[in-house]
Structure 1
Amino acid sequence: MILIADSGSTKTDWRILNATEVLEEAQTVGFNPMYQDTPEIYKELEASLLPQLKEKNPAQIFFYGAGCSSPERNKRVEDALRQAFPASEIHVDHDLLAAARALCGHKPGIACILGTGSNTCLYDGKDIVDNVPSLGFLLGDEGSGAYLGKLVMKAYFYREMPDELAQALKSKYNLSKDVFLDELYNSPVPSRYIATFARFAFDKRKHPVIHAMIYENFAEFFERHVCKYENYQKVPVNFVGSIAFHFSDTLKQVAKKYGAHIERIISSPSEGLIEYHQELLQQQNKEA
């Protein structure tokens, strides 16, 4: 029995499974060791996850998370998990590896994450062989919900929105500049906060101005990330994440412009990860 976790900045999906079935499912807030330390992560695990799992003790835990991109950050998550599950063998990896395994399986391709944040990699069917770096919320995250939220809110406060859109946004959120900036800069995970405004873009996605923002968001993502991979037009490009899933029509338009072939778009890597790890468990059982 193993526990796999797919964690973004907004939410974490947890699955306890064996070689043939999913035994338990749970969901908590997202964890990101770029912004959270071990005590903060453990406190949330203790309060939200453990009660849902009802004292189940997995032999192994595979945690894939946003921000888990260095040994130091990974250790913050690992130490918190070890406190919560002292008898389990723990593996912490980047959510990019989860995306590649879920999207591509054992085939080569480009795997892209477009959720609260964004990232990409070139995958050879086994390992990540290239990664155009994601510079995170402050300097990058093109294509993401956070980046789209920035475009929306800048247009609103800079008075670049048509009146009908500005009034609709004001009616929905009733935000002053001071309240918005206070919420943004005092939020423990600012990318998560500003990404909430991507929902407004989804609601108004048929308006030409909002559609242009969505298109710009994805075009920057392709130019700064996808197009940097050698032969990107000759291998499948796959996407996972809420932004890719809900804005898939515009995403396909942009991909066509750049000559990229999209093979798969899914909202969450959970299903692909379940399949991947169950295949490993079945193989281990055969070898035992």
Structure 2
Amino acid sequence: MSSKHILIADSGSTKTDWAIVNTEAGNYQSVQSAGINPFYQTAGEIIPVLQSQVIPAIDDDILEIHFYGAGCADEKSGMPVTDALKHCFPSANVVEVASDMLGAARGLCGHEPGLACILGTGANNAFFDGNRITHSIGSLGFWLGDEGSGSYLGKTLVVHYLQNELPEDLHDSFVKQYPGLDRLTVLDHAYKKPYPNRYFASYSRFIAENRTHEFIQTLLGNAFGLFVKKYILKHSNAAQYPVHFTGSIAYYYQDILRSVLESNGLRSGRILKSPLEGLIGYHRADLKA
């Protein structure tokens, strides 16, 4: 097989992980850029990200691109990303822009059936039959859903703080770490400034630093329990297949997450920080087929 370089991306609202894959040598180079989400960005805003953060790492023509991202639910919604990629990589013969959910499913399940879930800045889920997504309990995004995600956890924590519901020791730690934070500042970030999901997700750092606190343990368990109830258990065949997860929240709190799954009679599968490694294998296999 002649040398072929393909570009694979797994993008969320906060960051994008890229793999520049040399299919002949069997190796790849990893690159990270800012998050790309066409729900918030135009092609004109995406192009500078590619030019400054991705292209400098590439020294070969890219012949094939597979971009999986938040906000790329269908061809129309993903068009800003498609246009930006075609502009920056004119040598690419194939430019596939698909949902982060399909990327998670392919990366987690490979060609086997299972439930694939995302718990990062946002949250999502789908049943994958080994070939395609056949059923999903649609995510309602940051304001109306995303239970269990980093943005949901951060939002929940901040609400507890503003409503004086944190235990005294946790409240004092929060004030020390975020001095001067008040209701008006939070509301300004929530309703006036861009990327409120990223803003609230940033508070998940405090949760990580205090994860052994009983209040935080309960907050995490409740959030994951909501995700299971609202999304996973609504799949009629949930108990028959492994439930896989990807995303930083699922990865770093996998002990609590696995416990919640078990208590609901579910079988936990792979829990990966990123589906990129699985996606590299998935597309290599397709090229050899």
Asked if Structure 1 and Structure 2 have the same fold, meaning a TM-score greater than 0.5 normalized by the shorter chain, the answer is: yes
Alignment RMSD (CA, Å): 1.2
Post-superposition CA distance 1:4-37 (Å, at most 9, x none)? 1111111111111133523422110111111111
Larger displacement relative to structure 2 (63-72 or 108-117): 63-72
- Indicate which of 200, 203, 217 corresponds to 2:209: 203
Match of 2:32 among 11, 27, 38: 27
- Deviation string 1:166-195 (CA, Å, 9 cap, x unpaired) is 111111122222223323334422111111
- 1:251 is aligned, of 253, 257, 272, to 257
Instruction: Give 2:245's match in structure 1, choosing from 239, 242, 261.
Output: 239
Q: Distance in 1 between matches of 2:237 and 2:207?
A: 32
Q: AA paired with 1:125?
A: G
Q: Report the equivalent of 2:132.
A: 127
| Matched letter for residue 144 of structure 2 | L
Superposed CA offset, 1:26-76 (max 9, x none): 11011111111111111211122112224x321011100011002221111
Is the CA contact (8 Å cut-off) linking 1:187 and 1:193 kept in structure 2? no
Alignment-derived partner of residue 68 in structure 2: 64
Tell me if structure 1 keeps the 8 A contact 2:66–2:97: yes
Q: Does 1:213 align with 2:219?
A: yes
Q: CA deviation at 1:144?
A: 0.5
Kindly indicate whether the alpha-carbon contact (under 8 Å) linking 1:110 and 1:235 is maintained by their aligned counterparts in 2.
Answer: yes
Give runs of ≥4 in structure 1 deviating > 6 Å: none
Q: Is 1:106 the equivalent of 2:111?
A: yes
Deviations 1:58-105 (A, max 9, x none): 101110001100222111110011111122121100011111111111
CA contact (8 A) 1:236 1:263 kept: yes
Q: CA deviation at 1:265?
A: 0.6
Unaligned runs of 5+ in 2: none
- Identical-pair percentage: 43
Alignment of 1:7-86 (within 5 A): 7-19=11-23, 20-54=25-59, 56-86=60-90
Quick check: 2:115–2:238 contact (8 Å CA) kept in 1? yes
SS in 1 for 2:238: coil
State how far apart, in whole Å, the 1-side matches of 2:238 and 2:102 are: 19
Task: Work out whether residues 74 and 98 of structure 2, in 8 Å CA contact, stay in contact via their aligned partners in 1.
Answer: no
Once residues 47 and 196 of structure 1 are traced to their aligned partners in structure 2, the CA distance between those partners, rounded to angstroms, is: 24
**Structure 2 residue 78 is matched with structure 1 residue 90:** no
Cα distance in structure 2, aligned partners of 1:94 and 1:187: 25
- Say which of 163, 168, 180 aligns to 1:163: 168
> CA contact under 8 A between 1:24 and 1:53: conserved in structure 2?
no
Letter in 1 for 2:158: M
Match in the other structure for 1:274: 280
Is 1:149–2:158 an aligned residue pair?
A: no
2:75–2:97 Cα contact (<8 Å) kept: no
Code of the aligned partner of 2:99: H
Aligned mate of 2:236, from 223, 230, 236:
230
**Is the contact made by 2:128 and 2:134 (CA closer than 8 Å) also made in structure 1?**
yes
| Pair 1:17–1:250, CA change in 2 (3 A) | same
The 3 A distance-change label for structure 1 pair 173 and 22 is farther
Q: Find the residue that maps to 1:233 and give its secondary structure.
A: helix
Matched position secondary structure for 2:130: coil
C-alpha separation in 2, matches of 1:23 and 1:118: 28
Distance of 1:90 and 1:186 partners within structure 2: 34
After TM superposition, the score normalised by the length of structure 1 is 0.95
Residue ranges of structure 1 left out of the alignment (5+ in a row): 284-288
TM-score (norm 2): 0.94
The 3-state SS of whatever aligns with 2:176 is helix
